[in-house]
A = this chain, B = another copy of it.
Amino acid sequence: MQTSVVKFGGTSVGTTQKIQVIAEKLVSRKRQGESLVVVVSAMGKRTDELVGMAKAITPNPDKREMDMLLSTGEQVTIALMTMAIKSLGVKAISMTGAQARILTDTTHSKARIHNIDHENIQSHLKNDHIVVVAGFQGVTENGDITTLGRGGSDTTAVSLAAVLGANCEIYTDVDGVYTIDPRKYPKAKKLTTISYDEMLEMASLGAGVIDARAIEMGHKYKVPITIAHNTMAIAGTLIKEVSPEMEKKAVTGMSLNENIIMVSVSQLPFNSTTVAEVFKEISRHNIIVDMISLTPPIGGNVSIAFTIDSDDLNELKTVLGALKEKNPTCAFSFNEELVMLSVVGVGMVSQSGVASKVFNIFAENNIHFYQVTTSEISISYTVHRDDFSLAVEKIAEAFDL
């Protein structure tokens, strides 16, 4: 029997009443003969509350203990969801990440899934249970609880779908993937389908509908992923492999990221190892950098600029502090007034001219851009916050988004 893994985020399970409403829908699908695995996040703002408690104890909580703390959030939801389903007369069982044998590495707070021993889940499915699994969490070989970082519940859902050979449905508070975030550009259009690559670019570039790691996983294991509204009533967007249809259009969508900081490091002594060491240290702290640019060395010194997620700024400052101790001449600056916009489309591979069309739009409208980077299917620009809306509108019009 075809199994579906259905995932509900924190807003969707924010109250006991919302949990009951979802339970009813799951029970009705189960009664129609479906085999269901349900992945849930912590209720509403519970994760934030728990983080607040930890921060009240110490500004830098131990990461193992933070995972121990945060994992309770999803555990509450799986218990309540399972009670709700059982009270409606359908068999169900809850499983923490550890019980579901979601085995991860030991990188607390940003762990990666190594493997899922899914025999246990399979046998509960065979016994006609709805299996309710805690998202966002796993367990190390030693039995330590880990969490998968931001958007981790999506990764849980897609990974489970991959090992179970199931479809994946991600239910959220938007009704699908739009050409542009409709909260920022209300004229945006909903997409029926989107390729993994495009969705990955859009997610990596800041479109918050689904976590990038989850899409990567989906792509790797060819898991069809549907993004839809948590009412489960409206057709959503299907993320799947590229079809000839998709390639006709140069640009499928645009993603917007207001949560970036451009970091400039100047006066860094230039030799074969300094630059590499900077990025090695940054990576060791699990900070993701984007849009790296490097100026040619002048007088034995080099300048580098890159963007990071604003949330990583404190962690980055630790890295830069250590760098400054080794290289006392070097200087840093942070530009927090920039935003990034990226046009994305698998059609770009075969159609040229997207970059120059965007440059033209910027020139015509007097919009200055700070950095530009390209991938095979996307082009990203950083512009000043004040030029953001104008740039979005003009690009959307030009590419019919």
Contacts and interface: CB of A to CB of B under 8 A. Distances in A.
A56 B20 CA distance: 10
Contact of A58 (B60, B84, B94): B84
A contact face: mostly helix, strand, loop, or mixed: helix
A53 B68 contact: no
A292 interface: no
A54 B83 contact: yes
Interface string A72-108: 1001101110111011000001101011000000000
A84 B57 contact: yes
A66 B80 CA distance: 8
A50 B76 contact: yes
A391 interface: no
Nearest 6 interchain pairs by C-beta: A69-B79, A58-B87, A72-B72, A68-B79, A16-B56, A61-B83
Nearest to A86: B62
6 contacts: A58-B86, A62-B86, A66-B79, A68-B78, A68-B94, A71-B75
Interface string A135-163: 00000000111000000000000000000
Contacts of A54: 79-80, 83
A101 B76 CA distance: 22
Contacts of A65: 79-80, 82-83, 86, 94
Specify how many copies of this chain sit in the oligomer: 2
B143 A99 contact: yes
Interface string A42-69: 0000000010011011101110111011
A39 interface: no
Contacts of A72: 72, 75-76, 79
Contacts of A58: 83-84, 86-87
A143 B62 CA distance: 26
A19 interface: yes
Contact of A53 (B50, B71, B80): B80
Contacts of A66: 79, 83
A5 to B, nearest CB: 20
Contacts of A64: 93-94
Contacts of A79: 54, 65-66, 68-69, 72
Contacts of A93: 64
Contacts of A20: 57
A230 to B, nearest CB: 18
Nearest to A134: B68
A53 B132 CA distance: 18
Contacts of A16: 53, 56-57
Nearest to A23: B57
Nearest to A76: B72
Contacts of A144: 99
A198 to B, nearest CB: 39
Interface in A228-273: none
A144 B83 CA distance: 15
B62 A69 contact: no
Nearest to A84: B57
